[in-house]
Amino acid sequence: MKRIPIFIRKSISYSFALITGASTVAGLWGYTIKDINSELSWWIWALILLGFFLLLSFIIGLIIKSLEHKPVTLTINGKTVKIIIGDIFSEQGYKVIPFNERFDTQVDDIVIAHNTLNGKLIDNYIEDINELNNAILSATSKDSYYKPTFIEGKAVYPLGRIIPYNDYLLLSFTHFDEHNQAYIGVGEYEQILLRMWKEMRRVYAAKHVVIPLLGAGITTIDGTQKKNYTDLLKCILCTLRSSKFQPEQGITITLTSDTIKQINMNIIKEEF
């Protein structure tokens, strides 16, 4: 059976609470509804109250519905988590940028597309690509739980591994098939996030952390017909909560204006 939408449930609950509260206050002052007009019969008053309740519920429902796709601020593990519309590259702090499991840096719309986050990072914010490649290569020996394996001489990292570079946290987020297509399995998403939070505790250095809505881009999630962005965001927040990660400066999750239209923030606020 389909659940009643949140905005309807909340509008009814708030309306009932307001009317009950007003009735209680009036009773304490010695007033009853009959004092307004004692000539009206009880059933007319009942209809008036029902009409007022429905009108109030409608107004509150419209207000709640209007907030369905608005940015929100939450508190998780005692720290502030802001969900905003914005450009991740304009935010202050460590910015999480998803890469494939090989941390490829070739932006040619074949290996990496120019309009992806890692493509934009390399095109617009990396001055020396050789320095970036050297940072990735040297990371193989760094102290991490998630060591790479080598396939045909190329380091392949477990999904969830992070390599810090300047103000960026490069994240191994997807597999890469023989057709240069990025993908993850539907059952892997949660595990990737849990590893990411564990890695972040290792490298974030008490800085503010900014992450995108991971999985909302061109990455294919095998086993799903259509991505549910509300579920993706819920999974990010759930894994953050279960990880007990407590970044001193908080976390910002950036969404595009198109993405936030597909996320029900009332569900997010109710559950977190």
pLDDT at 63 over 90: no
Query: Can you give the residue ranges of every domain in the chain?
Result: 6-66, 72-271
The CATH-assigned architecture of domain 72-271 is 3-Layer(aba) Sandwich (3.40)
Helix residue ranges per DSSP H, the chain: 6-28, 42-66, 117-124, 129-138, 189-203, 229-243, 257-260, 265-271
pLDDT at 31 over 70: no
Query: In the predicted model, what is the mean pLDDT of the chain?
Result: 86
In tens, the pLDDT along 88-132 reads: 999 999 999 999 999 999 998 888 889 999 999 999 999 999 999
Q: Residue 146: how many CA atoms within 13 Å on its side-chain side?
A: 23
In tens, the pLDDT along 17-29 reads: 887 877 777 666 7
Q: Identify any residues that bridge with 107 across adjacent strands, giving them in sequence order.
A: 112
pLDDT at 15 over 90: no
pTM over 0.75: yes
